[in-house]
Amino acid sequence: MDPNTNQILRDILEKTEDSNKLLHKMHRAAVWGRVFRFFYWIVIIGVAVGSYYYLSPYLETLIDAYNNIMASVGKIQTAGNSVPQIPAGFDIGAFLKGFQK
């Protein structure tokens, strides 16, 4: 075999081994990335579920208070609609003079 060809084959072997090491490192990094991404989502989902579980009683109390307020506002609106309207041109001063002694 030609010495020049032998040197070229050694260079190719060296570059191939370096590429193989780099490829293994990239594969390992991808595997660890998937593992950490999986745990990342587990933590996010766990925090969301835990927060809902912890805050659920407070949210129910808040929703009940809101519903009670809205019911009261509805009653006030109904009562406001049942009050007779003051006719246009009504003189309140003359009306109140009738109650003075």
pLDDT at position 76 over 90: no
Please give the model's pTM, rounded to 2 decimal places.
0.51
Neighbours of 65 (CB within 10 A): 10
Proportion of the chain above pLDDT 90, given as a percent: 64
* Cα 16 from Cα 18, distance rounded (Å): 5
* Cα 14 from Cα 59, distance rounded (Å): 65
Q: Which of 40-44, 51-55, 78-82 has the lowest mean pLDDT?
A: 78-82
Query: Which two three-digit tokens encode residue 15?
Result: 């570059």
* Cα 10 from Cα 82, distance rounded (Å): 101
49-68 pLDDT tens trace: 999 999 999 999 999 999 99
- Phi, psi torsion values for 70, nearest 5 degrees: -65, -35
